[in-house]
């Protein structure tokens, strides 16, 4: 195995968040589709749920789209009531994609830019 490095997901993937009521969905795509299995192994429903537990998230479901090399995380009760009820500046939770991108993963050093 080549040398590995632990980095925030932001180094190797991109993401976008959307909302419906008190539920958020965050898509996650590795820049290199070859990284899909590695992320599938490391970015688990349990880890993502834990990342949003402080906001009251109750459930996380991951849909895998291998043909797109993409994941769709659907997180229940994470928006503190959603845009109509939340006291958060960002009631839609659009900024939450970058919380997901702060999660760390261990990847081959060559997979990271400048690596």
Partner 1 sequence: MTFLVGNGGGFSGDRVDAPIPVMRSLVRRGLPAAMFFETLGERTVALAQLERRRDPELGYEPMLERLLAPILEDGFRHRIPILGNFGAANPPAAGRLVARLAMRLGLPDLRIAVVTGDDVAGSVALDQLPVHEADDSLDMKSARLVAANAYIGAEPLVEALRQGADVVVAGRTSDPALAIAPLAHHFGWRFDDWAKLAVGAACGHLLECGSQITGGVFWDPGFKDIPDPANIGFPIAEVTAEGGLLITKPEDTGGIVDLRTVKEQLLYELHDPSRYITPDVVLDISECSLEQVGKDRVAVHGLRGHPRPDTLKVTASFEGSWLGEGEVSVAGPNALARAKATAEVLLQRMQLRGLPVRARVDLIGVASVLDSDDGALWRSYEGPEPPELRIRLAAEGADRDAVDQAAREVLALLCCGTAGTGGARWRLTPRILTRSYLVLRERVATSVVTRTAGEMVV
Q: Which residues contact 68 (CB under 8 A, 6 or more apart)?
A: 29
**For residue 9, what are its two tokens?**
């997901």
Q: How far is the CB of 89 from partner 1 (least distance, A)?
A: 5
Which stretches of the chain bind partner 1, using CB under 8 A?
10, 14-16, 18-23, 25, 27, 29, 31, 54-56, 63, 65, 67-68, 70, 72, 74, 80-85, 87-90, 94-96, 98-99
For residue 82, how many other CB atoms are within 10 A of its CB?
A: 19
Q: How far is the CB of 30 from partner 1 (least distance, A)?
A: 10
Nearest CA to 24 among 82, 65, 89, 70? 82
Whichever of 1 and 21 has its CB closer to partner 1, that residue is 21
């Amino acid at each position: 195995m080549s040398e590995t490095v632990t980095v925030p997901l932001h180094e190797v993937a991109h993401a976008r968040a959307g909302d419906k009521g008190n539920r958020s969905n965050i898509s996650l795509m590795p820049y290199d589709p070859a990284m899909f299995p590695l992320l599938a192994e490391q970015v688990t429903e349990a880890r993502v749920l834990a990342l949003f537990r402080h906001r009251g998230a109750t459930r996380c479901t991951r849909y895998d789209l291998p043909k797109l090399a993409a994941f769709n995380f659907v997180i229940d009760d994470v928006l503190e009531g959603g845009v109509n009820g939340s006291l958060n500046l960002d009631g839609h939770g659009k900024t939450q994609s970058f919380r997901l991108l702060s999660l760390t993963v261990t990847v081959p050093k060559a997979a990271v830019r400048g690596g």
